[in-house]
Structure 1
Amino acid sequence: MHAATAALKALLLEKSVRTGTFTLASGKQSDLYIDCRVTALDPFGANLIGELGWQAVRSKIHSEHLNIAAIGGMTLGADPISLAIGMASAKSHPDEALQVFTVRKEPKGHGAGKQIEGNFKSGDTVIVVDDVITTGGSTLKAIDVIEREGGKVAFAVVLVDREEGGREAIEARGIHVIPLFSRSTLLG
């Protein structure tokens, strides 16, 4: 296992993963709770997520000759991950740097009433981000908003795939999912 991968796995297990009985956002009961925000908002975790996320994203961009404008997803879970990957892209490959945006849960109630904030414009091809996917619901909601605002989602990157059908639901929409970790690689 790559040193950065091992370090991020250790940090996720220490800070973000809990076992027991939990009710998830989807309403489902689970023996596993993963709060990626604690790791993604840790400066060491953010650096590792940026490095590993950018490696995974850049590999996909190059292998498929994609032209990606920006990276982002549903606030709050996606925000630190998107920014970490965007910052890593700017630091290591300034000519390929990804802009960053965030998707609000609801349109803003004043001003322009936007639902996407930051560096996004209609016509952009983007990468959608999520911290954890279970059913895929929040990722699919972000994809709907991006598409409604004129964006095209090239693929998705997720910190942890819980392996509970979410990846398949997203891929059924024709959007490939790249997980940095899955339940089995994290706990296996």
Structure 2
Amino acid sequence: MSNTAASLKDLLLKKSVRTGTFTLASGAQSDLYIDCRMTALDPFGAALIGELGWEAVRKRIGEEGLSVDAIGGMTLGADPISLAVGMASARQNPDEALQVFTVRKEPKGHGRGKQIEGNFAEGNTIVVVDDVITTGGSTLKAIDAIEREGGKVAFALVLVDREEGGRQAIEARGIPVVSLFSRSTLLDE
């Protein structure tokens, strides 16, 4: 594990990971709660996420020979991660920097009624982002919105895969998942 990955793991464990008994958004009970926003909204955490996330995205783009236009996902969990990775891409490769967008949970009820805000256009190839995947539900909802608006999802970037079926649900849609950490790697299980 690189120094950057080790630093991010330490920060996640300190700020974002709790053990006990918790009810998750899916309604399931779990012995583990992960609030990645506490790390992703920390300036040091955001810098680490940007560096590691861009490294993972760049690697996948290179391996698959992809051309990717933008990065984003369901608000609020994906927002700081998408921006951090987009900023890292701009620092390291200004000519091919990823544009950043966010997906609202529901379309706006006023104005243009948009569900996707920011730097997204029909025809874009996208990296969809999520902070934590459990069942994959919120990632799949973001994918649905992106595809409805004419985007093509190349793959998903996830900060933590809880290893509870979410990866399989997303990959069943034909969308590969790249995770920076899993439950096993985060907790050394």
Q: TM-score range by the shorter chain?
A: over 0.9
Aligned match of 2:34: 34
What are the residue-to-residue correspondences of 1:1-188 with 2, within 5 Å? 1-188=1-188
Displacement over 6 Å in runs of 4+? none
Shift of 1:73: 0.1
Shift of 1:65: 1.1
Task: State the Cα RMSD in Å.
Answer: 0.4
Aligned mates of 2:95, 2:30 — CA distance in 1: 43
Secondary structure of the structure 2 residue equivalent to 1:178: strand
Aligned mates of 2:183, 2:95 — CA distance in 1: 34
Aligned mates of 1:170, 1:85 — CA distance in 2: 21
Pick which of 71-80 and 87-96 moved more.
Answer: 87-96
Aligned mates of 2:62, 2:183 — CA distance in 1: 27
Secondary structure of the structure 2 residue equivalent to 1:121: coil
Shift of 1:132: 0.1
Aligned mates of 1:162, 1:184 — CA distance in 2: 8
Aligned mates of 2:115, 2:47 — CA distance in 1: 28
Percent identity (aligned): 81
Shift of 1:139: 0.1
Aligned mates of 1:31, 1:63 — CA distance in 2: 36
Secondary structure of the structure 2 residue equivalent to 1:32: strand
Secondary structure of the structure 1 residue equivalent to 2:20: strand
Aligned mates of 1:178, 1:20 — CA distance in 2: 27
Aligned mates of 2:9, 2:187 — CA distance in 1: 9
CA offset digits 1:18-63 (Å, max 9, x no partner)? 0000000000000000000000000000000000000000011111
Q: For residue 174 of structure 2, what is the amino acid of its counterpart?
A: G
- The total of aligned residue pairs comes to 188
Aligned mates of 1:63, 1:18 — CA distance in 2: 35
Q: For residue 104 of structure 2, what is the amino acid of its counterpart?
A: R
- Give TM-score, length-normalised by structure 2: 0.99
